[in-house]
Amino acid sequence: MAPRSVTSPAAARRRLLELPGGRVHLVEQGEGPLVLLLHGFPESWYSWRHQLPALAAAGYRAVAVDARGYGRSSRPASADAYRAVALVGETVRLVRELGERRAVLVGHDWGATLAGQAGLLRPEVFPAVALLGVPYTPPGGPRPSRVFAAMPGEDEFYVPYLQRPGVAEAEIERDVRGWLAGFYTSLSGGRAPAEGPGPYFVPRGGEMRARFTGGPLPSWLAEEELDVYAGEFERTGFFGALARYRNMDRDWEDLAAWEGEPLRQPTLFVAGAEDASLRWLAEAVDAFEQTLPALTGRHLLDGCGHWVQQERPEEVNELLRGWLADVTAGWGTGRP
């Protein structure tokens, strides 16, 4: 049985581009202003399966990318290759290789973080940025590792757990499909535990799966769709996906010159009202007046969890179409 809601081979085009930093796999559909779709952890281009046809039908060239370390894109063996400045450079080069001079960035989770960083460093290439699930936080502040080390409580925050080489890989790769099912389910709308620390906190000496909520798959994720994700990670492993967590201190150092800088181009923020990550990122959302002075929309979708564009594809598509019509007015193709 074919996965539901996937763009058909006749409508979507798969490409492998050889860039200086390695191979980039992408799936594109439509013609018009370029919209790059950047996924998060632990996903792939496939997380944008509902957006590709919708944006193409609305008159955009929608391109969903496998991030470095994921899917059919290159997986460098050095964690240093996954630092933000390298990924920003690759994203700029990707725009050029696609024959364009500018693009709108739409990112979810780690993809939202990269979209914000790319918009900050190269605003002339990325004149509009949409952030899904994770708000923009300007560079600077305390070193991330010190922040995590100072967090109180008996449990360990998930980020330092994922940062330790080999630890998370050993847990996840023992049962890739089962782990993904638990993680996707636990962070979905309506699945957060009624009490207790939840899946973002790991028992000391234990594993993340100990805090997964269990139960059937959420309605947004069919068994065959889970198979797509599991099949990719069974093939690639998780080193590349986890490398972004392991570069947080490097990114803090690399971006020090932009400390406190807002993202000045038009932006959009969309998240699930039940996204647990907003609990510790609430201050970032509250600071949008200073950090996103050109914010044109802030939307929290009731009953929705972390996987916003998959949980609520119709609502997200409508919000994106309306926003894109404004920010790309007069673009033409955006090609040189």
Question: Strand, helix or coil at 139?
Answer: coil
Query: Residue 160: how many CB atoms within 10 A of its CB?
Result: 18
Torsion of CA 96, 252, 244, 282, to 10 degrees: -100
Residue 306 is among the residues annotated as catalytic for this protein: yes
CA distance 224 to 233: 15
Please classify residue 241 by burial: count the beta carbons closer than 10 Å to its beta carbon, then call 0-12 exposed, 13-18 middle and 19+ buried: buried
Check 25, 39, 50, 109 and give the catalytic one. 109
Q: Write out the two tokens for 180.
A: 């993904």
Check 25, 39, 108, 306 and give the catalytic one. 306
DSSP 156: E
Are the C-beta atoms of 218 and 191 separated by less than 8 Å?
Answer: yes
Question: Strand, helix or coil at 37?
Answer: strand
Query: What are the catalytic residues?
Result: 109, 306
